[in-house]
Chains A and B, each alone.
Chain A
Amino acid sequence: MGNPCAVIGVGQTRYRTKRLDVSIAGLVREAALRALEDAGLTFADIDAVVIGKAPDLFEGVMMPEAYLADALGARGKPVMRVHTAGSVGGSTGVVAASLINAGVHDRVLVVAWEKQSESNATWALTTHPPYNASLVVGAGGYFAPHIRAYIRRSGAPDHIGTLVAVKDRQNALKNPYAHLRIPGISREMVESTPMLWEPIRYLETCPSSDGACAMVLASETAARRAPNPPAWVHGAAMRSEPIFFAGRDTVNPRAGRDCAADVYGQAGITEPRGQLDCAEVYVPFSWYEPMWLENLGFCGEGAGWKLTEAGATALDGDIPWNPSGGVLSSNPIGASGLIRFAEAALQVRGLAGEHQVDGARRALGHAYGGGAQFFAMWIVGSAKP
């Protein structure tokens, strides 16, 4: 993995349906300035900027990193733009950490964002490229059949998705940045909402959010001077596989399992449920919690829903998943992965506030994208590796 890398600053915007008070540049700058404040730094201290967001068609700005260079104090500095579909926030974090691991830079600002109010993501994802059949309408239409396959395969009862939807929104009530904060959220409330894509109900999906998340990553030398406790990167990995081919397991994709094995190997983790204290995992549709519990090796195949049902993943469970409220509560798409990475870092820094998991020392940040084919993960810890 090379040189050690630490998270010394985290900044988030409040996630909202529409941030009409700021431009795209204003939005990313807000998150960046908060991360710099946490790190006790200014733009002048930053060596390089890595920007991530989901498809440019979402806002209709092509390669927006060029335009954002000014707002992010990047004049005269290296600026990179990562795009790996929904996993992009995670990949952006991995690419930024890579610059520190490689010894190329000492302080890297990483920013990921989406301003969904300036776009229509479902429209932008419903494509008619000239040489391919259009198979999907938006992300929900694509993922619902995979969820149905999971239910059939695992024999999970119908209410598991509802439990996740309620649990993550209860957590969101403890996170001031969360977009969906629904007082009195309950199973009845979730079950009363319309069915969008069988078996996904309205309240079992993620919202469309405006928002940005930023982090300052630092070398060991730079981390030593940070005013607040750092989170150390214990492992980081990406994996990709093709979207369509006969025999591909879309319910339990191999790229996810391989990526987890890689990142666990780097961090010396053999038993994730016991050795990790919490996880921020990309769950945009409620049923992806039990599916990813299995894919990430927190339990055996077919047993993920039992962990959810038993409350193991609740904030007071033995392995809290998405204490921040997760993607189900805030979804500025391009930033959603980086928020998972940042929330994992906040947990091991002990700075997660009301949704802090007591004594969290090691946490997983996870993102996936495309047709559940792109994965990016990192493990952060309070101790230097």
Chain B
Amino acid sequence: MRDVAVVAFAQTDHMAEDSGLSEVELLAPVIHEIKERTGLQRFGFTCSGSCDYLAGAPFSFVSALDAVGAWPPISESHVEMDAAWALYEAWVRLQHGDVDTALVYGFGKSSQGDLRQIMTLQLDPYYLAPLGPDQVSLAALQAQAYLRRSGAKEDDLRAVATRSRAAGRANPRVPDLPEPAADDPYEIAPLRTYDIAPITDGAAAIVLAAGERARELCDRPAWIRGIDHRADAHALGARDLSRAESARLAGERAGATAATSAAAAAGIEVAELHAQFSHEELMLREALELGDDVTVNPSGGALAANPVMATGLIRIGEAAARVFDGTARRALAHAASGPCLQQNLVCVLEGAVDG
């Protein structure tokens, strides 16, 4: 495979309330910033991720092109998925060898609707959606299944939330959330308010570059050493809800776990996990074999800020940022899609091997 690296990452100050900005207005400054930072005005390929249901209208990605400046016309595509999958598509495109740079972006304004209810619409439209289970209820089912199997306690969930929110308060990009209290009410047991990612608006962009181009554009590129994504069954009854099986598979394929690469697994220092609920972090740590020595979600993760459709891409950006600044030599990033961690993407990033 051709060596491809994350060479730049930009994101909005994610907002807990509707700021009155449209999606394209959220995105435009981020695109401007990343173009300025890389000095690139044109890219070999462009790919984005967004979801029409957040705006309640078709073609969110069409107006987003206004922020990109797609003139003269650009080679471009879009996934109706978290933009981490747009990054995957761009990484694939860079493997062809004829282009060297790619712009990837994602954006979401979930403050415009009732996200919990909207997510119900991604369920099987004949057998599941008509029952009306919302996203948090399904997550609570999974949390129960996980706690029962693993023996983890609600205190363990609160510890995840406490750490995430503290990290979030240290991250100027995300809104401040208070320290969780043990008597905070249940949203849906066993999940309490703090176990659930907040409603957040925001956008993010990443530039990928291949080979020499990456070295020109960045002092310390975050090289993609492995990237893979896998889907699990959609039907919740068809899988063991207490395990993130497709995350385990994706991790294995990306060379993040001992099954395929003991060295890589041993060397992961930082992991950014797309966990929208506290128990998801614990499940993902297990599936990806991340020990206690791995720093998880130093950015605060999705529990601190969750600009839907950009959240997964931001995990890759935050992991890359740890490589850029030398905090980590090897970092793992994870993104999820679908109900109860149905789809998972794992990306292993690394600074130059010989330093």
B-binding residues in A (CB < 8 A): 1-2, 23-24, 54-57, 59-70, 74-85, 91, 94-95, 98-99, 101-104, 124-125, 127-132, 237-243, 245, 253-255, 258-259, 262, 370-371, 373-374
Chain B's interface: helix, strand, loop or mixed, by majority? mixed
B22 at the interface (CB under 8 A from A): yes
Q: Which of B31-68 contact A (CB under 8 A)?
A: 46, 51-53, 55-59, 61-63, 65-66
In the assembled complex, 15 residue pairs joining A and B whose CB atoms fall closer than 8 Å, in A order, are A63-B337, A64-B122, A67-B234, A69-B234, A69-B343, A75-B233, A78-B228, A79-B343, A83-B52, A84-B77, A104-B95, A132-B63, A240-B65, A242-B65, A254-B72
**Given contacts A77-B230, A83-B80, A239-B75, is CB(A69)–CB(B342) below 8 Å?**
yes
Cβ of A78 and Cβ of B66 under 8 Å apart?
no
Cβ-closest chain A residue relative to B45: A238
When distances are taken between beta carbons in the complex, the residues of chain A under 8 Å from B234 are: 66-70
B182 at the interface (CB under 8 A from A): no
Cβ-closest chain A residue relative to B24: A131
Closest beta carbon of chain A to B78's beta carbon, Å: 5
**Given contacts A62-B118, A238-B75, A370-B62, is CB(A67)–CB(B231) below 8 Å?**
no
| Separation of A153 and B73 alpha carbons in the complex (Å) | 23
Closest beta carbon of chain B to A208's beta carbon, Å: 16
Cβ-closest chain B residue relative to A127: B57
| Separation of A94 and B96 alpha carbons in the complex (Å) | 13
| Separation of A74 and B66 alpha carbons in the complex (Å) | 35
- The segment from B8-16, B123-131, B269-277 that touches chain A is B123-131
Closest beta carbon of chain B to A318's beta carbon, Å: 30
B235 at the interface (CB under 8 A from A): yes
Cβ of A101 and Cβ of B338 under 8 Å apart?
no
When distances are taken between beta carbons in the complex, the residues of chain B under 8 Å from A127 are: 57-59
A-binding residues in B (CB < 8 A): 1, 22, 46, 51-53, 55-59, 61-63, 65-66, 70-81, 85, 88-89, 92-93, 95-98, 112, 118-119, 121-126, 129, 228-235, 238, 245-246, 249, 337-339, 342-343
**Contact of A67 (CB < 8 Å), options: B65, B75, B122, B228:** B122
**Contact of A61 (CB < 8 Å), options: B22, B121, B233, B338:** B121
| Separation of A30 and B249 alpha carbons in the complex (Å) | 28
Closest beta carbon of chain B to A122's beta carbon, Å: 12
| Separation of A69 and B232 alpha carbons in the complex (Å) | 8
When distances are taken between beta carbons in the complex, the residues of chain A under 8 Å from B1 are: 103
When distances are taken between beta carbons in the complex, the residues of chain A under 8 Å from B338 are: 63, 66, 69
Closest beta carbon of chain A to B241's beta carbon, Å: 14
Closest beta carbon of chain B to A38's beta carbon, Å: 24
When distances are taken between beta carbons in the complex, the residues of chain B under 8 Å from A82 are: 77-80
Closest beta carbon of chain B to A75's beta carbon, Å: 5
When distances are taken between beta carbons in the complex, the residues of chain A under 8 Å from B75 are: 237-240, 262
| Separation of A76 and B234 alpha carbons in the complex (Å) | 11
Cβ-closest chain A residue relative to B18: A130
When distances are taken between beta carbons in the complex, the residues of chain A under 8 Å from B119 are: 62
**Given contacts A1-B96, A56-B53, A76-B230, is CB(A23)–CB(B126) below 8 Å?**
yes
| Separation of A185 and B57 alpha carbons in the complex (Å) | 37
**Given contacts A61-B125, A63-B81, A79-B343, is CB(A55)–CB(B58) below 8 Å?**
yes
Cβ-closest chain B residue relative to A132: B63
When distances are taken between beta carbons in the complex, the residues of chain A under 8 Å from B72 are: 241, 254, 258
Please give 14 more A-B residue pairs, beta carbons under 8 A apart, in addition to A57-B57, A83-B80.
A56-B53, A62-B51, A62-B119, A64-B122, A77-B231, A80-B229, A82-B78, A83-B61, A85-B59, A127-B57, A239-B75, A243-B63, A262-B75, A373-B62
**Given contacts A2-B96, A2-B97, A78-B228, is CB(A70)–CB(B61) below 8 Å?**
no
Cβ of A239 and Cβ of B231 under 8 Å apart?
no
Cβ of B92 and Cβ of A102 under 8 Å apart?
yes
| Separation of A91 and B146 alpha carbons in the complex (Å) | 39
When distances are taken between beta carbons in the complex, the residues of chain B under 8 Å from A74 are: 231
When distances are taken between beta carbons in the complex, the residues of chain A under 8 Å from B85 are: 80-81
Closest beta carbon of chain B to A261's beta carbon, Å: 11
Cβ-closest chain A residue relative to B128: A67
Cβ of A81 and Cβ of B79 under 8 Å apart?
yes
When distances are taken between beta carbons in the complex, the residues of chain A under 8 Å from B65 are: 240-243, 373
Closest beta carbon of chain B to A10's beta carbon, Å: 22
**Contact of B73 (CB < 8 Å), options: A2, A104, A130, A241:** A241
Cβ of A239 and Cβ of B73 under 8 Å apart?
yes
When distances are taken between beta carbons in the complex, the residues of chain A under 8 Å from B118 are: 62
Cβ of A70 and Cβ of B77 under 8 Å apart?
no
When distances are taken between beta carbons in the complex, the residues of chain B under 8 Å from A101 are: 95-96
| Separation of A47 and B158 alpha carbons in the complex (Å) | 39
**Contact of B81 (CB < 8 Å), options: A80, A85, A130:** A80
Cβ of B71 and Cβ of A70 under 8 Å apart?
no
Cβ of B62 and Cβ of A85 under 8 Å apart?
yes
Most chain B beta-carbon neighbours within 10 Å: one of A2, A67, A84, A132? A67
Closest beta carbon of chain B to A376's beta carbon, Å: 8
| Separation of A42 and B97 alpha carbons in the complex (Å) | 31
Cβ of B231 and Cβ of A79 under 8 Å apart?
yes
When distances are taken between beta carbons in the complex, the residues of chain A under 8 Å from B343 are: 66, 69, 79
**Given contacts A61-B122, A63-B337, is CB(A98)–CB(B89) below 8 Å?**
yes
| Separation of A281 and B105 alpha carbons in the complex (Å) | 30
Closest beta carbon of chain B to A252's beta carbon, Å: 13
Closest beta carbon of chain B to A213's beta carbon, Å: 18
**Given contacts A63-B337, A66-B343, A240-B65, is CB(A99)–CB(B81) below 8 Å?**
no
Cβ of B235 and Cβ of A70 under 8 Å apart?
yes
When distances are taken between beta carbons in the complex, the residues of chain B under 8 Å from A65 are: 80-81
Cβ of A1 and Cβ of B73 under 8 Å apart?
no
Cβ of A102 and Cβ of B229 under 8 Å apart?
no
| Separation of A68 and B98 alpha carbons in the complex (Å) | 33
| Separation of A54 and B58 alpha carbons in the complex (Å) | 9
When distances are taken between beta carbons in the complex, the residues of chain A under 8 Å from B52 are: 55-57, 62, 83
Cβ of A80 and Cβ of B79 under 8 Å apart?
yes
